[in-house]
Structure 1
């Protein structure tokens, strides 16, 4: 068993303080766990003391809890090395990274890990204020290649950050001059890895039309972050489907969950010498290209009529005035489930319901509907599913229009 280095990283802490401990962990030293939450750190430390941390573990990443109780994922040093090597091959070589995401989550941790393994020093977008174009452009301007020949520059971002730079956000509009400046900064990067949440196709087109190289990524903490780029698996990574559910295999797969052998056994398997992780997502695989179609648990059955919550959300997002949508099924004593939706944008509840009725039929219109300026977000840039489900569950009126409270770190 290996040791554990626990680091408290409240907002405003320099994330580069993780570089030293993480470098030691990648070289066989104690595993690293970091969090702004002292209670979570205490939980992980207690688990580590009780069950031990497996040899070879470099980091423990607690999942965001967007779909339930957090899990503490064990990331082997070998898996982080394999991920960095495969990413480097796709991007075209080593480079300096922009750190625009929390270092204690897998996307930010990977920026730090790749920087260590490439021998470069990342440039940080400070998190002591909400993410915006001014901070982003200033950080890009500070990137100097970190001494590398060729001075390639990369970033890892989430869709909400790109949307803010190109489209603005409620209370933070972007005029034409700032949009052009932000687009120029995006274009100055050799590649932008985009993950953490579903990316709107129209947003991707708008960003790519500026000349920025945006690579959509698919993965999770259990695969050391993104391991499928633009639908194609990284070198060494395997993808297959089991009854439509996506499974990912290869050297990037995590060691399991700290102190949780039951959930580890349910999610991780060994087959023909390859370690596999079974996701909670559904997809299709055509000529080696993976398309994620939704979540395995997102089918809503209302009175025998079934619909994918993801498909319904995408339909709502087609309506002008809608930026984002989250859809879920809530218990109903008559119909089994009823459709509930949280919509971000300027469209009215009446317009949303009318559009869904016209496209999919009146039975699939949201019976509980909340329209706000923005979806509640986690620090990772993912929609806070559990928070929205709780608030939709307690809704007492069929439609409310309010301003959504902001996440602890806006992105």
Structure 2
């Protein structure tokens, strides 16, 4: 078994697509990363410590994705390039094909990271919301309209709370209707919401 250093990968909520080059390296098997929030120093340090950033890791690992830690110390899912590509391919197959992606959730969490990975696998640059001030429906609506002009299939991934927030206004509902599919996860979604 060979090793390399697990590198922390700060993800800026204002510009998460800045890490796409690093993700290409991870998918190609050249580097191993631990995505961390760039603007939340205590959380970033907690993840560095609990996931052993800066320490050797098996070269087969592309990403270590930390759990929320809501039940204690965050756990790290060690994902290989094959895991990431297979997941993206399976999602695209289920959705009926590749398309354009809108990143509307933090990319240091697995659901947000998967949006970036799917876009890379599809060969498109995702559009990303600036989440510095949280999820804002007007920004989401503007981005959805921009994506729809590409003529491609358009997808996004939301948490249940984001979905509810978008459904709370006509602007948000109109934006949701522009997507060919919306993945919802990160927490349970009530049946009435769906």
Confirm or deny a common fold (TM above 0.5).
yes
**What RMSD, in angstroms, separates the aligned Cα atoms of the two structures?**
1.9
1:83 matched to 2:84? The reply is no
Q: Summarize the alignment of residues 330-369 of structure 1 with structure 2, pairs less than 5 Å apart.
A: none
Task: Give 5+ residue unaligned stretches, structure 1.
Answer: 168-178, 205-411
Q: How far 1:111 sits from its partner (Å)?
A: 0.4
Once the two structures are superposed, residues 81-110 of structure 1 have per-residue CA deviations (whole angstroms, 9 ceiling, x without a partner) of 111111111101111111011111100010
Q: Distance in 1 between matches of 2:31 and 2:84?
A: 15
Corresponding residue for residue 96 of structure 1: 100
* In 2: Cα distance, 1:103 partner to 1:34 partner: 8
Out of 200, 203, 227, the position equivalent to 2:193 is: 203
Change (3 A) 1:66 1:145: farther
- The TM-score, its normalising length taken from structure 2, stands at 0.88
Q: 1:183 to 1:71 in 2, by over 3 A?
A: same
More RCO (CA 8 Å, sep 6+): 2
Partner of 2:152: 151
Instruction: Tell me the number of residue pairs that the alignment of Structure 1 and Structure 2 aligns.
Output: 187
Partner of 2:33: 32
Cα distance in structure 2, aligned partners of 1:165 and 1:44: 34
Aligned to 1:234: none
Stretches of structure 2 lacking an aligned partner (at least 5 in a row): 38-42
Q: After TM superposition, list the pairs within 5 Å mapping 1:57-72 onto structure 2.
A: 57-72=61-76
Distance 1:188 1:48, change over 3 A: same
Deviation for aligned residue 1:48: 5.0
Instruction: Give the whole-Å Cα distance in 2 for the aligned partners of 1:159 and 1:18.
Output: 26
Indicate yes or no: 2:178 matched with 1:188: yes
Bigger fraction of residues in helix: 2
| 103, 109, 129: which one aligns with 1:105 | 109
Match of 1:18 in 2: 19
Deviation string for 1:36-55 (max 9, x for gaps)? 24413542674552xx2122
> What are the residue-to-residue correspondences of 1:128-277 with 2, within 5 Å?
128-143=132-147, 151-167=152-168, 179-204=169-194
User: 1:5 Cα deviation (Å)?
Assistant: 3.1
**Which of residues 74, 85, 96 in structure 1 aligns to 2:78?**
74
Partners of 1:77 and 1:27 in 2: CA distance? 7
Structure 1 counterpart SS, 2:63? strand
* Structure 1: distance between partners of 2:148 and 2:4: 36
Larger Rg: 1
Q: What is the alpha-carbon distance in structure 2 between the residues aligned to residue 185 and residue 39 of structure 1?
A: 36
For residue 144 of structure 1, report the CA deviation from its aligned partner.
5.5
CA contact (8 A) 1:158 1:196 kept: yes
Aligned to 2:40: none
Matched, 1:125 2:129: yes
Structure 1 length-normalised TM: 0.43
Question: SS of the counterpart of 1:2?
Answer: strand
State whether structure 2 residue 10 is matched by structure 1 residue 8. Answer: yes
CA distance in 1 between partners of 2:190 and 2:159 (Å): 11
Cα distance, 1:9 vs structure 2 = 3.1
1:48, 1:129 → 2: CA distance? 30
The 1:19–1:144 alpha-carbon spacing in structure 2 relative to 1, beyond 3 Å, is farther
